[in-house]
Amino acid sequence: MARVHAGQATVGPMLYGAVGGVAAGLFGLVVMTAAEVLGGGGGFQTSNLIGAWFVRWLQVADTDALTGFYADATLGGMAVAAVGGAVVGALVAGLLARHPEARMMAWGVVSGLLAWAIVWYLVAPVLSPVLVRVLDWRVAAASGMAYGLMLGWWMRFGRFSARSIDARLTRP
């Protein structure tokens, strides 16, 4: 039987990408929440729409019920955004770990929009139909793009930092 493992060359970047993914996921949630507040909402609806994936009574509740703070749905929605961001961030970082010449910002935006499309068209209609029904797709797409920009910036910064640290260590 063969043992398959990621190796040290990929694990570090994947962990770094996961941390950046958490930050980017929460940043994307902030963008959606800002759009909600600018539209006259209270600021909890976006997190509740995501949290409704596992707080099932919100799926059938009146849309006014989505505006309140619920520890399980509101905080759960934030956790889902963070964990989902971490998973995508780790995957993107793992794929790009061996391509130091890659344009991280561009790959970040592509991965953010791809993640948005997968969630919007495949995941949300099954797990949280209320999200697709209530949230404007343009707001969700902007959030995906914000996620991607933040992730791309994070990975670009990490590559820059790694190079500068390597340069300091190898300097005579």
Q: Where along the chain do its domains lie?
A: 11-170
* pLDDT of amino acid 99: 75
Find all residues with CB under 8 Å of 94, minimum gap 6, and list them.
6, 10, 13, 14, 17
Question: Structure pTM?
Answer: 0.83
pLDDT band (50, 70, 90) for residue 172: low
CB-based burial, 112-136: b 16+ in 10 Å, e otherwise:
beebbeebbeeebeebbebbbeebe
So what's the pLDDT on residue 166?
Answer: 47
